[in-house]
């Protein structure tokens, strides 16, 4: 196997809502890459990992066809493409590796504020504008509603005022776009976030080690995001109460304090954010000299 064959390719969005967080994730996994202006590939300098920067809609296909080993794309795009690929006869076009906890939004119905429609059940014989025709059709079929899906590639929210549809089904995050277009948010049909996907093909031996390392580092990055290292002193008798108060804590390390009788130092990793209220409760339980530190890296 040549060196180029053994390099791992990860497809991410070139320029859009998922780009910064996806690049940040790879950088936090230790990847350093060089990329010329407007270049579509970032070449990994310190790992055999290259980053392909493409339109998000192309990512599922690149991973299905094994052009890229891994990809990061919104669940909305992924599910739309999955329905398409399955209809075309691909049983398992890609493997969902894990959700990445950013790029959150929902695919929801939007009903004109001054219109008669209030719920999905009233959509029989009506037109629904959306950029996600397969997801919407699948939902309507499953709920037994006979509406017509009209595909829009952008500016879905203006379809009702143009008279091109009765309602819409589009991505919503804050809801400001719906409100600005005098649409009322209805049922959510898909909750979305950025998803890491992998090709369904067997990983060639030359790539297994680095794919495994990268996935393990991604896990590590996700875990440290909220994790904190907490240190305090406390009477040994307060240990059960202190352990109970600590959010998502592992078994604490307890160290005797020289010449301090029944007092011990407690060190513990918490997998969740530690708020001021928690510290105040810990103090009430007998803890003192409380310190909360961010966790830089973690390898389970």
Q: Which is nearer to ligand PRT, 21 or 271 (CB)?
A: 21
Q: Which is nearer to ligand PRT, 74 or 220 (CB)?
A: 74
The residue range among 33-41, 52-60, 164-172, 203-211 that interacts with Zn ion, by the rule CB under 5 A, is 52-60
The yes or no reply on residue 56 touching ligand PRT (CB under 6 A) is yes
Q: Is 254 exposed, middle or buried (0-12, 13-18, 19+ CB in 10 A)?
A: middle
The residue range among 38-46, 62-70, 71-79, 247-255 that interacts with ligand PRT, by the rule CB under 6 A, is 71-79
Q: How many chain residues interact with ligand PRT (CB under 6 A)?
A: 21
Q: Any idea how long the chain is?
A: 300
Interactions with ligand PRT, residue window 6-45 (CB under 6 A): 13, 16-18
Among 6, 57, 164, 215, binds Zn ion (CB under 5 A): 57
Q: What, of ligand PRT, Zn ion, none, does residue 79 touch, CB below 5 to 8 Å by kind?
A: none
Q: Is 36 exposed, middle or buried (0-12, 13-18, 19+ CB in 10 A)?
A: exposed
Q: How far is the CB of 80 from Zn ion (least distance, A)?
A: 10
Q: How far is the CB of 250 from ligand PRT (least distance, A)?
A: 33
Among 50, 56, 79, 170, binds Zn ion (CB under 5 A): 56
Q: Which residue has the tokens 């549809």?
A: 165
Q: How far is the CB of 180 from ligand PRT (least distance, A)?
A: 8
Q: Which is nearer to Zn ion, 49 or 168 (CB)?
A: 168
Interactions with ligand PRT, residue window 167-226 (CB under 6 A): 170-177, 192
Q: Which is nearer to Zn ion, 81 or 228 (CB)?
A: 81
Give the residue at shortest CB distance from ligand PRT: 74
The residue range among 51-59, 160-168, 213-221, 226-234 that interacts with Zn ion, by the rule CB under 5 A, is 51-59
Cβ–Cβ under 8 Å, residues 13 and 73: yes
* Distance of alpha carbon 45 from the chain centroid: 26
Q: Which is nearer to Zn ion, 56 or 69 (CB)?
A: 56
Other CB atoms within 10 A of residue 264 CB:
20
Residues near ligand PRT (CB under 6 A): 13, 16-18, 55-57, 74, 76-77, 103, 105, 170-177, 192
């Amino acid at each position: 196997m040549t060196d180029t064959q053994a390099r791992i390719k990860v497809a991410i969005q070139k320029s859009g809502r998922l780009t910064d967080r996806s690049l940040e994730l790879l950088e936090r996994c230790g990847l350093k890459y060089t990329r010329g202006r407007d270049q579509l590939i970032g070449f990994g300098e310190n790992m055999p990992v290259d980053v392909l920067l493409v339109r998000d809609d192309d990512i599922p296909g690149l991973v299905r066809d094994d052009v890229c080993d891994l990809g990061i794309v919104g669940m909305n795009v992924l599910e739309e493409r999955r329905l398409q690929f399955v209809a075309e006869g691909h049983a398992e076009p890609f493997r969902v590796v894990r959700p990445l906890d950013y790029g959150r939004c929902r695919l929801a119905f939007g009903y004109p504020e001054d219109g008669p429609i209030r719920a999905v059940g009233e959509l029989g014989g009506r037109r629904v504008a959306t950029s996600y025709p397969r997801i919407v059709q699948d939902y309507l079929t499953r709920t037994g509603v006979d509406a017509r899906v009209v595909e829009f590639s952008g500016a879905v929210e203006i379809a009702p005022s143009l008279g091109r549809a009765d309602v819409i089904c589009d991505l919503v995050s804050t809801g400001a776009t719906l409100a600005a277009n005098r649409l009322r948010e209805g049922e959510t049909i898909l909750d979305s976030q950025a998803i890491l996907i992998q090709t369904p093909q067997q990983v060639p031996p030359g790539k297994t080690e680095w794919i495994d390392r990268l996935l393990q580092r991604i896990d590590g990055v996700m875990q440290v995001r909220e994790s904190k290292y907490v240190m305090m002193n406390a009477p040994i008798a307060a240990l059960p109460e202190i352990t109970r108060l600590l959010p998502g804590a592992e078994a604490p390390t307890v160290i005797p304090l020289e010449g301090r009788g029944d007092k011990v130092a407690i060190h513990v990793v918490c997998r969740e954010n530690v708020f001021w209220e928690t510290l105040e409760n810990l103090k009430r339980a007998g803890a003192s000299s409380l310190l909360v530190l961010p966790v830089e890296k973690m390898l389970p």
